[in-house]
A = this chain, B = another copy of it.
Amino acid sequence: MAADDRRESILHAATAVFGAKTYAGTTTDDVARAAGVSQPYVVRLFGTKQKLFLAVLDRALVKLFAAFRAAVAGEPAERTQRMGDAYIGLLAERGLLQSLSAAFLLGGDSEIGPAARGHFADVWRFLRTEVGMDAETAQMFLAQGMLINTLVGLRVGAAYGEDAAMTELLDLCIPEKVDEVLIQLPTVGDAW
């Protein structure tokens, strides 16, 4: 396989694993196995585990902005609605939003912290300037996103239909689309 394709396939696998087990909880061997290559090769392609994680974050943000830009295009009506749907759509790539959540806890890290803050600030500026949201709308939009991330991280899907409280909350957060989304949510039994 060409190195570029291999890189992408490792990044895809790494996204799923980092998202499921957090940064510190993931081993380079976990990623290698998920990608179907040997552990030394992962290290050789990315240098260090930290650089691999930073590459995962960069790739996640590229995909996030692509999804948002597609949602913003077109008529201004219902823009925020479409943006929310786009965010939900990102759940289709296993671990993508979770890897971001994991990074958002690592602000104190000297390498990952600045990258994570920069990415988050980029999102805010995008909402305020490119999308043109007012500050309060943008804040609520982000807040809803962080709540969704929390529910996914908690594997609340496992409680949907079992626990009345969590069912009610998930119905509110993923309006109209719970059924489709539930299928995509990571489950408790996930090996990674």
Contact = CB atoms under 8 A, between A and B. Distances in A.
A82 to B, nearest CB: 19
A172 interface: yes
A21 interface: yes
A163 interface: yes
Contact of A166 (B104, B117, B144, B156): B117
A185 to B, nearest CB: 10
Contact of A113 (B105, B154, B166): B154
Interface in A107-158: 107-108, 110, 113, 116-117, 120-121, 124-125, 128, 135-136, 138-140, 142-144, 146-147, 149-150, 152-156, 158
How many copies of this chain does the complex contain?
A: 2
A15 interface: no
Interface string A165-179: 110110011000000
Interface centre among A110, A154, A172 (most CB of B within 10 A): A154
A91 interface: no
Interface stretch (A22-30, A50-58, A59-67): A22-30
B128 A165 contact: yes
Contacts of A108: 20-21, 155, 186-188, 190, 192
Interface of A: 20-25, 98, 101-102, 104-108, 110, 113, 116-117, 120-121, 124-125, 128, 135-136, 138-140, 142-144, 146-147, 149-150, 152-156, 158-159, 163, 165-166, 168-169, 172-173, 186-188, 190, 192
